[in-house]
Amino acid sequence: MSPQTAPDPEELRDACREGSARPLRIGIICHPTYGGSGVVASELALSLAARGHCVHLFSYSVPPRLARSPGPVQMHVAQGIPYPLFQSTPHDLAIVSSILNLHRSEGLDVLHAHYTLPHAVSAYLARAAAFFDHDRRAPRMVTTLHGTDITIVGNDPSYAPLTQFVLQQSDAVTAVSNDLARRTRDTFCVGFGGPCAIDVIPNFVDAELFHPRAAGGATHAVPSAVHVSNFRPVKRVPWLLRGFELATRGTNARLTLVGDGPDQAAARSVVRELGIGERVLFLGERDALPELLAPADVFVLASSEESFGLSALEAMACGTPVVATRVGGVSEVVDDGVSGLLAPPDDLEGFAARLKELLFDRKRAMAMGSAARAIAETRFARGAVVARYEALYRRLVDGVRET
């Protein structure tokens, strides 16, 4: 079954029936905002459901990638109630209650938290409460580290002890890149008081949806770059605009910016300052990413931190090569000189030079785009990566060793 297939109620009932031997009953918790961790969690949920498992997704609203799919994942929106005593509504506690309700009525084998805070805490609480339900086995708890949950948020002194605790308490921890696993070990495994195993399971891409022909094979008449992000400071969109201006001064090259977030106003002000308003288009948040990525000559990413760079992988699957800063796990996704070009994060001229190199050499960009597509289809193939999560769950639930 494809992840996009509409649910067959009978299949769904079979997968979720108590005691059904093969399918696993899996609860996934994620952020519903536009952002890589919610995308990966939603795509994983859909792929696992397509493989016959009974999959529930918990969040405080429906993640966009799930919302647009008819796939047989059961969505549980838990928002809690506002109350004058709360400065903000503790939806993470409502999520714990929602998980417990489901576990008590149907049972869950695995709880998979995407992005450590607050989801691993919610999973830990739900599992702890489930230990007291003697007629059911408590779910196994998996935590997937995505990036800033370790490098910016989780290691801040205000959260670090709790982050370390929930990592210790997880039955398995995975990271989306070797670099993130290494950084997690360096920060959190010192004085861990036990083994600090982190499985590296990279992100994956739906190479049927993200495809070079996603826009019907259309290309732009003028050299065109595209960027997709949540415009957080870590994405350095204003810096990216300066690099674009340097690379394309005096030309008609264009840049399309997709997404929205805190740095949108700063980015607009840099566009005004540089006088490139005619050549830069702010599109805001969009779901039609394949159609926007495929016709571009180059995808650009100028982050100061990036554990993986899912948007770069989605561009690669569309046959669009990447120019990016060499930070975190980006070099595990983009092969420098093969599927794109990388520059040091503090070298604006170097970044601009690489962008210029690729943006104005369509033949080279197309060759790198083909290589990028091939890498996306093999190293980051959905089926193979999802099978690794499945094997991990089986190991935890049945004690079956991964092969």
**Cβ within 8 Å of residue 386, ≥6 positions away:** 44, 47, 48, 51, 204
CB closer to ligand GMT, 176 vs 392? 176
CB closer to ligand GMT, 41 vs 126? 41
- At how many degrees (to 10) do helices 382-398 and 36-50 cross? 80
CA proximity to 274, closest of 229, 303, 298, 238: 238
Q: How far is CA 10 from the centre of its chain?
A: 31
- In the complex, the smallest distance separating the C-beta of residue 152 from ligand GMT, rounded to whole angstroms, is 7
- In the complex, the smallest distance separating the C-beta of residue 149 from ligand GMT, rounded to whole angstroms, is 7
CB closer to ligand GMT, 65 vs 103? 65
Report which residue's Cβ sits closest to ligand GMT.
147
CB closer to ligand GMT, 104 vs 182? 182
- In the complex, the smallest distance separating the C-beta of residue 75 from ligand GMT, rounded to whole angstroms, is 18
CA pair distance 86, 108, nearest whole angstrom: 30
CB closer to ligand GMT, 174 vs 224? 174
CA pair distance 6, 216, nearest whole angstrom: 25
- In the complex, the smallest distance separating the C-beta of residue 153 from ligand GMT, rounded to whole angstroms, is 8
CB closer to ligand GMT, 207 vs 253? 207
CB closer to ligand GMT, 144 vs 248? 144
Residues that bind ligand GMT (CB under 6 A): 31, 35-38, 40, 115, 146-148, 176, 203, 232, 234, 303, 305-310, 328
Report the length, in residues, of the chain: 403
For 355-372, give one letter per residue: b (16+ CB within 10 A) or e.
bbebbbeeeebbebbebb
CA pair distance 105, 16, nearest whole angstrom: 11
- In the complex, the smallest distance separating the C-beta of residue 40 from ligand GMT, rounded to whole angstroms, is 5
**Cβ within 8 Å of residue 23, ≥6 positions away:** 14, 15, 16, 52, 53, 54
CA pair distance 35, 41, nearest whole angstrom: 10
> For 191, phi and psi rounded to 5 degrees?
70, 30
CB closer to ligand GMT, 103 vs 183? 183
* 35 and 63 Cβ atoms separated by less than 8 Å: no
- In the complex, the smallest distance separating the C-beta of residue 308 from ligand GMT, rounded to whole angstroms, is 4
Indicate if the alpha-carbon torsion angle 26, 31, 33, 37 is positive or negative: negative
Please give the C-alpha separations between residue 119 and each of 94, 173, 364, in angstroms, as whole numbers. 12, 13, 43
CB closer to ligand GMT, 50 vs 205? 205
- In the complex, the smallest distance separating the C-beta of residue 299 from ligand GMT, rounded to whole angstroms, is 13
* Class of residue 378 by CB neighbours under 10 A (exposed 0-12, middle 13-18, buried 19+): exposed
**Cβ within 8 Å of residue 13, ≥6 positions away:** none
- In the complex, the smallest distance separating the C-beta of residue 177 from ligand GMT, rounded to whole angstroms, is 8
- In the complex, the smallest distance separating the C-beta of residue 32 from ligand GMT, rounded to whole angstroms, is 10
